[in-house]
Amino acid sequence: MFSAGIDAGTQSIKVVIYDSDRKSIVASSSSALDLIEKDGGVREQEASWWVEAIRACFSSIDSEIRKNISVISVSGQQHGFVPLSKDGKVLHSVKLWCDTSTAIECGEIESALGGREAVSAGLGNPILPGYTASKIRWLWKNHRNLYDEMAYVLLPHDYINWYLSGEVVMERGDASGTGILNIFTGKWDERAAEATAPGLIDKLPKIEEKPCIIGKISKERAEELGLPENVAIASGGGDNMMSAIGTGAVEDGFVTMSLGTSGTLFSSSSHPFHDDKLRLASFCSSTGVWLPLLCTMNCTVASETLRKLFDKDVKAFDEAAELSGPGAGGLTMLPFFNGERVPDFPHGEGVLMGMRQSNVNEENIARATLEGVTYGFILGLDAFRENGLDVKSLTLTGGGSKSRVWRQLVADMTSCPVRVPVIKEAAAFGAALHGLWCLEGGKIEDLAREHILYDDSLLSFPDVSKADVYRQGYEKWLKYTEALSTLFR
């Protein structure tokens, strides 16, 4: 069976076609997207760009492969806001997850609901900049006529589902990143909706509480994309939810660490998961359970910044870090170059601590950079454990997973074997598996074990003799972080 996964990201639309019989990707395509950037943190895209990119992707795939597709599932960048009219018109440019222009609206919503701690305890998450709720309130405040005309609030992947099938629905995984869903019940919270904008509850789509097939592709879209008219459309989900499926994080304790421009750490949880210290986002999953998640703003951002400073390519930077060794000669990097989400340092900066005449060299700084970034993930793993979720397996994805030095560092620092999937496009592949699961049924855990393959040549086992060095380094990193917190908040 051929299943298609569409990943609607910030930089591109990607499509993969997965052959479940041969357990391989038989076709893939991508199309780049532009980004509207304005002063004040505005980051937007036009929904029409996604449609054009989807058309381009499918047109570049062999027609014989397209004719054999049975199901499509969509992965989409979380938190984006698509205001749709009753007649299918997108009423405003789509404010994206990385749009921070509505921070004031976050405070207004939280204040109306009794403050951040009350919101987090009641809904499972605070209202953070980037979440959908503040974007909706912004539209209500600044474009009341458009808000009144809006019939449906959609997220990016929901809009693509609507484009493909004409169905207006939302599933609880992606919906849990809006700031309006109660993650404990999986239902819209009427108080949060009213605090966001008057009458909003009537504009929120029906929640599909379980992953499912929401309908079939419309005749018009089938002809447009060269697909069969009986192609099923699955409920899909947010990019983190689909990446969890694509990397096997579908069982308690199976953790994925993504070393991309920003960093994410997530795991499946069979029970509602709420970190009262607010280190982890308390999302629902797109598999019917929950997906606690850590997001850091600085991952390969840090390594790329220092690599360019030293004018080294990736290989040379890794070699320099390896020459230093654990502990980086006493240097500690706080890699908050873009500010930081966890720890909550909106005014954070990159800081190099512990410098002495004897230890300031490229090798130690390179090593301290990789260690400092990884300590941020250890903060998340500690939060998992403190909330009763043991780490049984650790999978690496993202550009940083290509680094042998970084893989070994993660294994040594976590005292856990580290593996890397064969298929790198975690979100698109996860969407393809999600569609297959929605169509055929069964247990998602069994599907993941059958179809997710790992590259044995990239497997890294921990060197337990280094655990104490890294634990001491992490404790020092925490002390430095706390000491500078008043400057960064």
Which one, of 96, 98, 116, 99, lies nearest residue 107 by Cα?
116
pLDDT at position 311 is 97
pLDDT of 273: 87
What pLDDT score was predicted for residue 262?
87
The alpha carbon dihedral of 272, 341, 243, 399 has a sign of: negative
> Max alpha carbon distance in the chain (Å)?
71
| Position 489 pLDDT exceeds 90 | no
pLDDT at 346 over 90: no
Higher pLDDT, 389 or 75: 75
Q: What are the tokens at 285?
A: 């999953």
Task: Name the residue type at position 328.
Answer: A
Residues 165-195: tens digit of each pLDDT:
999 999 999 999 999 999 999 999 999 999 9
205: DSSP letter = P
pLDDT bin (cut points 50, 70, 90) of residue 42 is: very high
In tens, the pLDDT along 12-28 reads: 999 999 999 999 999 99
Does domain 248-420+459-489 fall into CATH 3.30.420.40? Answer: yes
Indicate if the pLDDT at residue 310 is higher than 90: yes
pLDDT digit string, tens, across residues 251-263? 999 999 999 988 9
Per residue in 425-469, pLDDT (tens digit) is 999 999 999 999 999 999 999 999 999 999 999 999 999 999 999
Residue 344 binned pLDDT confidence (cut-offs 50, 70, 90): confident
Q: Cα dist. 157→71, 174, 201, 268, 486 in Å?
A: 15, 9, 20, 21, 38
Q: Is the pLDDT of residue 414 over 90?
A: yes
CA-nearest of 352, 377, 302, 365 to 484 is: 352
Domain 2-237 has CATH 3.30.450.70: no
Closest CA to 54 of 122, 123, 126, 4: 4
CA distances (Å), origin 109, targets 106, 126, 150, 249 = 5, 10, 20, 33
As beta bridge partners, residue 292 has 282
Q: What pLDDT, on a 0 to 100 scale, did the predictor assign at position 129? A: 84
d(CA 79, CA 339): 20
Fold agreement (2-237, 248-420+459-489): yes
What is the pLDDT at residue 39?
Answer: 92
Find the catalytic residue in 7, 174, 239, 412: 239
Confidence of residue 370 (pLDDT cuts 50, 70, 90): very high
Q: For residue 264, give both structure tokens.
A: 């994410």
Backbone Cα Rg of the chain: 22
311 is catalytic: no
Q: How confident is the model at residue 276 (pLDDT cuts 50, 70, 90)?
A: confident
| C-alpha to C-alpha distances, 286 to 64, 73, 205, 422, 427, nearest whole angstrom | 31, 11, 16, 22, 12
Alpha-carbon gap, residue 283 to 126, rounded angstroms: 11
pLDDT of residue 446: 96
Domain range annotation of the chain: 2-237, 248-420+459-489
Mean of pLDDT values over 261-272 = 92
Tokens of 141: 């405040």
Tokens of 20: 């479940």
Helices (H), 295-425: 300-309, 314-324, 362-386, 404-414
- Measured CA to CA, the distance from residue 151 to residue 156 in angstroms comes to 16
Higher pLDDT, 68 or 347: 68
Mean model confidence pLDDT for the chain: 96
* Nearest CA among 327, 314, 328 for reference residue 362: 328
What tens digit of pLDDT does each residue of 126-140 get?
998 889 999 999 999
pLDDT at 80: 97
Tell the residue number behind the tokens 């030293």, with chain if given: 310
**Rounded to the nearest 5°, which phi and psi values hold at 172?**
-75, -20
Amino acid 105 reads: E
197: three-class secondary structure by DSSP: coil
**Mean pLDDT of the 90-118 span:** 95
Percentage above 90 pLDDT, the chain: 92
Q: What pLDDT shows up at residue 483? A: 96
pLDDT for res 378: 96
